[in-house]
Structure 1
Amino acid sequence: MPPHLRLFLFICLISGVTSKNFLTTEQTTLLNLKQTWNNPPSLTHWSSTSSPCTWPEVQCRNGSIVVLHLEDKKLTGFIPEFICDLSNVENVFLRDNFLTGEFPRVFYNCSKLIELDISQNLFVGTLPDDIDRLSQLKSLEIGANNFTGDIPPAIGNLSALKLLHMYQNLFHGSIPSEIGNLSNLETLGLAYNEFADPEIPIEFGKLSNLKVLWMPGVNLIGKIPKSFSNLVNLEVLDLSLNDLEGEILPELFLFRNLESLFLYKNKFSGQIPSVVQFLNLSQIDISMNNLNGSIPDDFGKLRKLEVFNLYSNQFSGNIPITISQIPTLRIFRVFRNNLAGELPPEFGLHSKLEAFEVSENKFIGNLPENLCAGGSLTGVIAFSNNLTGELPRSLERCNRITTIQLYDNNFSGQIPSGIWTLTNISSLRLSGNSFSGELPSKVAGNLSRLEISDNKFSGRVPPEISSWVKLNVFKASNNMFSGGIPPEITGLSELTVLYLDGNSLSGELPSQMKSWDSLTILNLARNKLSGQIPVSLTSLEDLLDLDLSENQFSGQIPPQFSNLRLTALNLSSNKLTGRIPSSFDNIAYQNSFINNPNLCSTSLIPNLHNCFAKPSQSNKFSPKIIAMIILLSAFVLLAAIMSTLFMFRDYLNKKPKRTHTTWKLTSFHKMDFTETNILSGMIEANVIGTGGAGKVYRVGVGQPRGCVAVKRIWNDNQLDQKKENEFRSEVQILGSIRHANIVKLLCCLSSENSKLLVYEYMVHQSLDKWLHGKKRKLDPGLVPGFVLDWPRRLQIAIGAAQGLCYMHHDCSPPIVHRDVKSSNILLDFEFNAKIADFGLAKMLEKQKLGEGDMSYIAGSLGYFAPEYAYTSRVNERIDVYSFGVVLLELVTGKEANEGDGDLNLAEWAWKHYGEGGSMMGAVDREIKDPDTYLEEMSTVFRLGLICTSTLPSSRPSMKDVLEILKRCNPIDQLPEEMKQGRDEFDVAPLLERESYVTNYYESEDALDTNV
């Protein structure tokens, strides 16, 4: 054999042996890693009998390990130093595990490391000042951990970096300008950190290779730097959810490669300049600002534009025709502006339009004829304009449409027959127009909300209405319907709201109403209905509002009316006779029975006869009887005088300071009732709740309000400082804030002995009663017979989260409730949630946030945050913990203190999840069709877990909680009342925003065992 060949074979042999020995050493390192991380089940195939290069988590090159893929392997514990015994490793992916400790400096010893991903773990502490020792890194991802403090300036020395993700941590310093030195950087993600009032460093303008800048929710202030004009390669810019101000500078519109621009929900003002350089732009969202002026014609030159969101601004003028000609346009939302003129007729003709929302403007003319030409339209929302003409017949072919909202316009003509039966339509809202014609005998199987009030519809209500089985809300007031009310309408078991007032309906009411179990509002006023009020009406346990006024009903009011718990009743202007039922025979309902000449009252209601009054008689009495009457009268008079003298003597001896109670009234809203209305209703029969501070009454105050809720706080004739402080706290907070999801304090009355807080009345009372009323055997009148379905539970969760988010993030100083629980979440007649009971709340000074001491522990068992029980320290995180318990209640149906053995609900939920329990095993068995909503319920369940984390800093803010809840809320599953205004909170899809939301809670799945 030639010498050179022998040498070659020798070298190959030595090389092979060396490679084999080297790989054996790396195999040992990996097996030691597996043991350090508690032998997770996901790595059971790692063994000494197989080569690491065959393991799916490992990639090798030249017989040595270069890549570790260990994402989502349920790894726990710390990262050991010997990991860098894998001396050739270049890429390490440890994303989405339960690894702990401070930033792993052990990677300093991995000399060839170019990519490190430790995001979505449980790392804590500050980043090291010498982080630039990772000098070869091209990608560093540390997002969704618990890193705190400042980002070290040394980060700017990692000159090879192309991707830097530091989102969703607890950084609270400034944004280092040194990041601007990363000349190779292409992606920068700093989103969702609470930086201390930072401005965007002008040095960021040096990032000439930057393609993605992702900085929503980082407290940005000031203006966008002019230096941003140097970011010529930028493709995605997201600066949403901040406090930027000023005009959008023309320099922004020089980004030739920009694909997505998200500047929504800031404080921009001024006009939009030309956008001709935005040739690659696919998404524009500059909604919810103060932008004004007209929409530039140049927008029509963006031939790749798909999403166009300009809603909630102050734009005026016409919509440029060229926008309707963009071939890629899918989403068009310009609602809530001052736009006018006609809508361009070519909308939908050139693109597959999916959403068309132009409501609350001043548009005139017709709806575009070809909106659905592309067959993809899911909704037409154009209410509150001045649109005219008939509806386009082309809408009959839009089988993907779920909602048509055209109310408060000037439309006319008949509804095209095909619209009634569109396959997926669930909401048809046409009130406040001049539509005519008759109701169809058949409608779409999914139609749940039909509103046609204030039009010119006529004819009979068809008996075939019994086939409208999904109908939940039917409003047909002020039309020209005639004939009788068909008995078939009472077979609609899901109907909750029925308005047929202001028509020409006649005949008697149906005698049987057994299927109306869910009905809460029935308004048949101003018709020609006659006959007696059927007794079956009194079997509707959920009925809250009944109006039969201005008809021709006769006979007696059924005594069984006393079984109804109505908040509003109007039987006026009929021909009723006899006594008023006892429950309504009081001054609170004095206007409910007027103009019924033959009705009588036992409580002397004004304008009604006294039931005990009898005609005068001319009986003659004998002299003996007259003498006895006079003698008896004299005796009674003498006894009365003597009694009065004795009482007066006692009064003088006791020397009381005052003889009557003086009330001081302070109002916070326009009053449509008086002090007398409130005080006359403070009787035991009106008590609807009792708490530690006193009783709560439901007091009738007449129309239009119906009822109010009055909370009475007694002082027991002595100064109770704690209750006095609670009273002042609640008045101070509720009297100064305004939010749709916080209960409205109407006024307060105070006297020497007690305090009265008067609130708007929540007809569905508390969430607690709906979730737990049956098992506690509460009054069935307070807890109706059906349970909350999942879409309503999710609606309630979002509403309550919006109220708390407002308190924590939009109030200055912030407000901490301290007693968030299901019994303090009240529900109005459409199940909108409102936060109540602020007696335990405390306003925090911003500079002392998180350091507020309380003199006593407040709250409710099962809802306590652990740190609050032993430190009495107060910040927003205790509310987040309590809200997490509420989320778990909504999913499981369990009470806050209901677990296994000595466990409360939060502890039980952690145990159930940690032991691998199924989601179906945790879901409330009373939720209908759980399989349909299992993914959403799983999301909310895990969100409840992260909110109840033991470590306060690991809990999300209410802003993050709200965003996650909204994202698991598909619009086609929402109750209709919640779909209204949804787009006000719409969050556009951003780079990795979806993964952030869906994975955020998963980083905490085993937190209680690792803290």
Structure 2
Amino acid sequence: MRPPTSNNNSNNNPTMSLFSLLLSLSFLPLALSLRAATLRTQSNFLSLMKDSLSGPSMASWDIAGAVGGSPYCNFSGISCDDHGYVVEIDLSSWKLVGDFPSGVCSSLPMLRALWLADNDIRNGFPKDLLNCSSLAELNFSHSGLTGTVPDISQLQSLRLIDLSNNFFTGEFPTSIINLTNLEVIDLNQNPGFDPWKLPETITQLKKLRVLILSTTSMGGEIPPCIGNMTSLADLELSGNRLAGRIPATIGKLQSLRSLELYYNHLSGEIPDELGNLTKLVDLDMSDNHLTGGIPEKLGAISGLEVLQLYTNRLTGGVPRVLGNSTALSLLSIYGNFLTGELPPDLGRHSKLILLEVADNQLSGQLPRDACAAGELLYLLVLNNHFSGELPETYAQCKSLIRFRVANNQLNGSIPEELFGLPHAAIIDLGFNRFEGTIAKTIGNAKNLSALFLSHNLISGALPPEISWDTNLVKIDLSHNLLSGPIPPEIANLYKLNQLSLQENKLDSSIPVSLSLLKSLNVLNLSNNYLTGEIPQSLCNLLPNSLDFSNNRLSGPVPLPLIKEGLIESVYGNPELCVPFHPDLTKPTLPLCPKPSIRRGLNDVWVIGVSLMLMILAVLLFLKRWLSRKNAVIEQDGLSSSPSSLYDVTSFHKLSFDQHEIVEALTDRNIVGHGGSGTVYKIALSNGEMVAVKKLWSRTMKNPPPYQSYLDKELKTEVETLGSIRHKNIVKLYCCFSSMDCKLLVYEYMPNGNLWDALHSGGSFLDWPTRHRIASGVAQGLAYLHHDLLFPIVHRDIKTSNILLDEDFEPKVADFGVAKVLQARGDHESSATVITGTYGYLAPEYAYSTKATTKCDVYSFGVVLMELVTGKKPNEPEFGENQDIIHWVSSKMGTKERAMDAIDKQLSWSPFKEEMIQVLRIALRCTLRTPALRPSMNEVVQLLLEVDPSKFDVAGSFKFKHLASLKG
């Protein structure tokens, strides 16, 4: 038995016990006093926080009404320990604006977690936090922080640091490497850092589980020693400037679940050792310069859900073992040089959501079980060498949104139910060898926006049921064997922008009802057997691309086609005639026969009336000319007499002359002033309206110092608008130019511009109208960027440059700073001065004067945000040095906050989910790294998929993948 120790004896001593008790009691008042002082200090600091950070949620902190103890422990966002000490502050997504107060560490000595994500914190990183020795979690993501990140080496207790999606500049804070207790580092989306390299000392962070350094201006190579960080579960280095090979040592990271290296300059082969990452779930190495094949071991990883390797230089086959996967949901390997067949069992055992293998050299048959789980949203296999028939199973894949198999060698008939996929936005079967007919089930495709069937062997009639698909925007059935009439019911497709039916065997007459298609931009009916006259009413549309050539049409060519210089669009119709031979046009069509005398007195009466009208017109002209003899027009300090001579450059047949325009340049017709001149609204004698932009003159007494730049602006605008035609780009009728006056005459837009409609109490725009405006502008920009021989960068996209016609259809205007990309094929153009408008300028303008199409994409993203939120690009509520992009970003953390970003005028709208999707597209457009932004063609398709009339079946589909889709 152990003898009692001396301590036990003392504890049993009554005298000693009494002494200890008295000693404890003597210190009790001091302890209580210190605790009370600390509680008061904490209360005072929280009161200071409430004063410094304003926001509606702060109203719940009733500090003045708190009585006794530590009542602030009951405040929302505050957590305390059992002794009343504040240990956690979580005010994420509280809409706070202001400075974070100093004194936090001395006032809250036990603070272990500070979460202020999705707020607007001013004056950069709160340096006072560096003294918080107990701080373990620090989250300032999406909080608008600017400036540099200080040395944070002394925060040795830190386990989590999240400074993602801010606006830091200067040196990257490599001091985080000294914080050896760190488990999570997230500095994603801070592209303003100076170029830097990942140091090898990163390996001293032995406990690190999450390392997210995407889009942080990181360059150099990935250090091979990173393979020693065996605790890593998430490694994301995408959107940087990394080069060199992928280290094989990454295969040693046995805990790794996510590896994202996309959008870099990595080269060499994919290491076989990556197949050792048995816990890997998400692998994305897209958009690099990788070569070689896809390792078989990589495809054999049993839990791999996402495999994205698109836009590289990979060769060889697709690992057959992928067909055995029970986890694979996204396979995106488009834009490589892959050959061979797809695994025949692909999708049989897993819930495949996306299969994207376009732009390769794959062959063989398509995997019949790709949609076995019934969850496939995107099947994109275009531009390969696939052969055989379409699997019947695809017709039952009701979940499909995009079905694109164009440019292959597929044959046989198209399953009837495939035409009627209920959620499909795009069905693209073009450039194959399909036979058979277009099934009547096409009428069930209620969400269809694009139907492409060109260059096949499709025969039979175009079913009238296609008119039930009222979301259709593009139809291309050209180069087939279609026969019979064009169904007049097609006029129900009020959104239709393109109707291409050329190179078929269509007969009968052109339906007059086509004139109801107000959105039509492309109409091609050439090389058919169409008969009868060209409907006069169809000429009210005058699409930008019109072709009736090589048919059997007869009768007179409508005058609008001749006036608009579209006479070539009717060549190859021997029985057509013209009332006169247009100027500068070869007389390839015969003159229409003169009226026969047998028509009698009616014709004589018509001729007489015509002569009288001509005489009256001559008299009116003489009267106007005489009245001008003594008139001198004083305008903007300029004297311009009727005898002034103008160089006239016209781009359309004009229904007015220069004198009618010049005489109307009076003060009462002024509707606006700009940096380059004055804008007039002029009513013509024929009842039409035009808008005239009068640029400042060289002969002004005090010409602006940038006169030479304005001369270039005029030349640019004339050359640009004169060479293009699109229904969403404002029409330039002509240019009048003299030594003392320069005039641009445009079509007039009665509903003004989008800025006024949104921000100046203009007409209320519901969401379907706003979406239609967004889609129209996107189509106009896509035309400029992708459909011309040399792309055009507008360089000043903003809501005030988007005009609205009588039906609120948008037209992009003001091309004064536009730039045609160089003929050598560059994707960028330079300017000697920075152009554009504050709030819409892409961030790369801060360090480069080069303008790319991605600059327009960025500006368009701001326009999208304006349309959804109703906010201006810069509002006081956003905070100092913050803009709408930062504000929207801060709202997208939760669905509730995203809903709060929607324009209050649309609070009743049933389309809130669609509006949030558009905000996500806008955020993608406004990414700080240009390479990460989508093209305008991609934006057009993304907007089509969130059309208000469509049902969103994508649900929780990962937006990163949705926004990166090619097809």
TM above 0.5: yes
Pair 1:50–1:290, CA change in 2 (3 A): same
State whether structure 2 residue 531 is matched by structure 1 residue 530. Answer: yes
CA drift at 1:288: 0.9
Q: For the structure 1 residues 606 and 217, does the alpha-carbon distance in structure 2 shift closer, same or farther, using more than 3 Å as the test?
A: same
Q: 1:544 Cα shift?
A: 4.2
Q: How far apart, CA to CA, are the structure 1 residues paired with 2:290 and 2:858? A: 38
Of 906, 910, 914 in structure 2, the residue corresponding to residue 933 of structure 1 is 914
Secondary structure of 2:221's counterpart equals coil
Determine the structure 2 residue equivalent to 1:890: 867
Cα distance in 1 between the residues matched to 2:433 and 2:321? 32
**Amino acid aligned to 2:868:** V
The within-5 A match list for 1:807-846 is 820-823=798-801, 837=815, 839=817
Matches within 5 A, 1:239-278: 239-274=237-272, 275-278=274-277
Query: Structure 2 residue aligned with 1:65, among 81, 85, 88?
Result: 85
Return 252-261 or 117-126, whichever deviates more.
117-126
| 27 and 724 in structure 1: CA distance in 2 versus 1, 3 angstrom threshold | same
2:586 maps to 606
Please state if 1:584 is matched with 2:562.
yes
Contact 2:802/2:811 (<8 A) preserved: no
**2:664 corresponding residue in structure 1:** none
Residue of structure 2 in register with 1:184 after alignment? 181
Deviations 1:27-84 (A, max 9, x none): 756665565415932335963389735556444444423434441585xxxxxxxxxx
**Aligned counterpart, 1:724:** 708
What is aligned with 1:367? Answer: 366
Q: Deviations over 1:170-194 (max 9, x none)?
A: 4322234443222222111222331
For the residues of structure 1 that align with 2:118 and 2:759, how far apart are their CA atoms?
Answer: 40
Question: Residue type of the partner of 2:492?
Answer: G
Amino acid across the alignment from 1:277 = N
SS of residue in 1 equivalent to 2:549: coil
CA change 1:179–1:60 in 2 (3 A) is closer
2:383 is aligned with what amino acid? S
Report the TM-score, using the length of structure 2 for normalisation. Answer: 0.68
**Residue 131 to residue 9, structure 1, CA distance change in 2 (3 Å):** closer
Q: Is the 8 A contact 1:198 1:221 kept in 2?
A: yes
Q: Deviations over 1:217-241 (max 9, x none)?
A: 1111211123322212111111111
Deviations 1:229-265 (A, max 9, x none): 2212111111111112122222233222111111111
Query: 2:296 aligned with 1:317, yes or no?
Result: no
CA–CA separation in structure 2 for the residues paired with 1:691 and 1:509: 46
Q: Which amino acid aligns with 1:225?
A: P
Q: CA deviation at 1:920?
A: 10
**3-state secondary structure, aligned to 2:217:** coil
Q: Summarize the Cα distance change of 1:411–1:264 in structure 2 as closer, same or farther, 3 Å threshold.
A: same
Question: Counterpart of 2:171?
Answer: 174
Which amino acid is the alignment partner of residue 264 of structure 2? N
In 1: Cα distance, 2:532 partner to 2:719 partner: 48
Partner of 1:652: none
Aligned partner of 1:223: which letter?
E
Post-superposition offset of 1:495: 3.2
Question: In the alignment, does 2:392 pair up with 1:393?
Answer: yes
CA shift at 1:161, angstroms? 2.3
Q: CA deviation at 1:315?
A: 0.8
Look up the SS of the partner of 1:600 in the other structure. Answer: coil
Alpha carbons of structure 1 residues 918 and 324: separation in structure 2 relative to 1, 3 Å = closer
- Pairwise CA distance, 1:546: 3.3
CA distance in 2, matches of 1:976, 1:407: 26
C-alpha separation in 2, matches of 1:769 and 1:48: 57
1:753-811 Cα distance to aligned partner (Å, 9 max, x none): 699999xx9x9999965786999999xxxx9x9996454555578899999999xxxx9
Which SS does the other structure have where 2:411 is aligned?
strand
1:701 aligns with: none
Q: Of the candidates 50, 57, 60, which is equivalent to residue 42 of structure 1?
A: 60
Aligned to 1:156: 153
How do 1:82-93 residues align onto structure 2 when only pairs under 5 Å count?
Answer: none
129-138 vs 163-172, which deviates more? 129-138
Task: Report which stretch shifted further, 167-176 or 883-892.
Answer: 883-892
Superposition TM-score, scaled by structure 1 size: 0.65
> Is the alpha carbon distance of 1:750 and 1:968 closer, same or farther for their aligned partners in structure 2, counting shifts above 3 Å?
closer
1:806-835 Cα offsets, whole Å, 9 max, x none, are: 9xxxx9xxx9957844416999xxx99989
Give the 5 Å matches for 1:638-677: none
Identity of aligned residues (%): 26
CA–CA distance in structure 2, aligned partners of residues 959 and 150 of structure 1: 23
Partner secondary structure for residue 226 of structure 2: helix
1:207 aligns to 2:199 (yes or no): no
State the one-letter code of the partner of 1:451.
Answer: F
SS in 1 for 2:441: coil
C-alpha distance in 1, partners of 2:859/2:818? 14
Deviates more, 1:273-282 or 1:541-550: 541-550
Give the root-mean-square deviation of aligned CA atoms. 6.2
Q: Which residue of 1 aligns with 2:162?
A: 165
Q: Which residue of 1 aligns with 2:688?
A: none
Q: 1:591 to 1:311 in 2, by over 3 A?
A: same
In 1, Cα distance between equivalents of 2:718 and 2:179: 49
Mapped to 1, the partners of 2:171 and 2:373 lie a distance apart of 49
Paired with 1:186 and 1:889, the residues of 2 have a C-alpha distance of 39
Q: Distance in 1 between matches of 2:334 and 2:344?
A: 18
Deviations 1:830-884 (A, max 9, x none): x99989635399x9xxxxxxxx9999xx988x9799xxxxxxxx999x9999879
Q: Relative to structure 1, is the Cα distance of residues 73 and 379 closer, same or farther in structure 2, using a 3 angstrom cutoff?
A: closer
> CA separation of 1:281/1:836 partners in 2, compared to 1, >3 Å: closer, same or farther?
farther
Name the counterpart of 2:946. Answer: 973
Of stretches 955-964 and 288-297 in structure 1, the one that deviates more from structure 2 is: 955-964
Matched, 1:219 2:208: no
Contact 2:803-2:810 within 8 A present in 1 as well: no
2:263·2:932 contact (CA, 8 Å) conserved in 1?
A: no
Shift of 1:277: 2.4
- 1:108-507 alignment, distance < 5 Å: 108=106, 110-125=108-123, 133-145=131-143, 147-153=145-151, 155-193=152-190, 194-274=192-272, 275-443=274-442, 444-448=444-448, 449-507=450-508
What secondary structure sits across from 2:387 in the alignment?
Answer: strand
Larger mean Cα displacement after TM superposition, 385-394 or 726-735: 726-735
Contact 2:717 2:817 in 1 (8 A): no
**Matched residue of 1:40: which SS?**
helix
1:928, CA displacement in angstroms?
A: 7.8
CA drift of 1:894 comes to 9.3
CA contact (8 A) 1:891 1:924 kept: no
Distance 1:309 1:801, change over 3 A: farther
C-alpha displacement at 1:489, in angstroms?
Answer: 2.7
Say if 1:767 and 1:823, in contact at 8 Å, map to a contact too.
no
Unpaired segments of 5 or more residues in structure 1? 75-95, 554-574, 616-660, 664-674, 697-708, 844-851, 866-873, 900-905, 948-954, 980-984, 991-1011
- Following TM superposition, by how much is the alpha carbon of 1:270 offset from its aligned partner in structure 2, in angstroms? 1.6
SS of the residue 1:276 aligns to: helix
**Partner amino acid, structure 2, of 1:216:** S
Residue 487 to residue 330, structure 1, CA distance change in 2 (3 Å): same
Q: State the number of aligned residues.
A: 807
The amino acid of 1:256's aligned partner reads: Q
Give the match for residue 557 of structure 1: none
Q: Deviations over 1:126-164 (max 9, x none)?
A: 6588865333332233444455554334x2243332222
For residue 1001 of structure 1, what is the aligned residue in structure 2?
none
Taking the aligned partners of 1:881 and 1:415, their CA distance within structure 2 comes to: 40
Q: Say which SS state the counterpart of residue 197 (structure 2) adopts.
A: coil
Three-state SS of the structure 2 residue aligned to 1:204 is helix
Secondary structure of the structure 2 residue equivalent to 1:933? helix
Q: Aligned partners of 1:682, 1:755: CA distance in 2, in Å? A: 21
Query: Match for residue 508 of structure 1?
Result: 509
Paired AA for residue 268 in structure 2: G
**1:973 aligned partner, one-letter code:** V
CA 1:798/1:890 → structure 2, altered by over 3 Å: closer, same or farther?
same
Q: 1:223 to 1:710 in 2, by over 3 A?
A: farther
User: Per-residue deviation at 1:986?
Assistant: 7.0
